[in-house]
């Protein structure tokens, strides 16, 4: 479960983890985004975690978090096949969600996220 502690809202009920280099590289390519799943990318150290949407069939929302789980940047409704979406800073965690999830959960930059 991924929860916004600041707003006391549940963002997703289930979480899939991407912790290896290969799983982070592949991400959601060739996969349908599931409505109740958050895709959590774990980086070994803070990184400039830009994404591409090549071979990702559905639009997504993205949260970039620091090591304490605070949202440092948000991308809403990133379109399939877009080439480059980047955060404003370095992130330790990144969460990809079904498009619309960020608005529904009222999540904003600075919010504390728990997973």
Backbone conformation region of residue 21, classed left if phi is above 0, alpha if psi is from -120 to 50, else beta:
alpha
Phi, psi of 7 (to 5 degrees): -95, -5
Alpha helices in the chain (DSSP H): 21-26, 101-105
Average pLDDT of 38-45?
Answer: 96
Q: Would you list the domain boundaries of the chain?
A: 2-114
For 69-98, the pLDDT digits (tens) are 999 999 999 999 999 999 999 999 999 999
Within the chain, strands assigned E span 2-4, 9-12, 14-18, 37-47, 60-65, 71-78, 91-98, 113-114
* pTM listed for this prediction: 0.93
Q: Which CATH architecture has domain 2-114?
A: Sandwich (2.60)
* pLDDT bucket at 25, cuts 50 / 70 / 90: confident
């Amino acid at each position: 479960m991924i929860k916004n502690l600041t707003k006391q809202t549940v963002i997703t009920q289930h979480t899939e983890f991407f912790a290896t280099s290969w799983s982070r590289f592949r991400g959601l390519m060739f996969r349908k985004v599931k409505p109740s799943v958050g895709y959590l990318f774990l980086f070994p150290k803070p990184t400039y975690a830009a994404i591409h949407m090549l071979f990702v069939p559905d639009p997504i929302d993205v949260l970039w978090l620091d090591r304490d789980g605070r949202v440092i940047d948000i991308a809403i409704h990133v379109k399939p096949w877009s080439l480059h979406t980047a955060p404003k800073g370095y992130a330790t965690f990144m969460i990809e969600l079904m498009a619309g999830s960020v608005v529904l959960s009222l999540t904003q930059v600075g919010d504390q996220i728990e997973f």
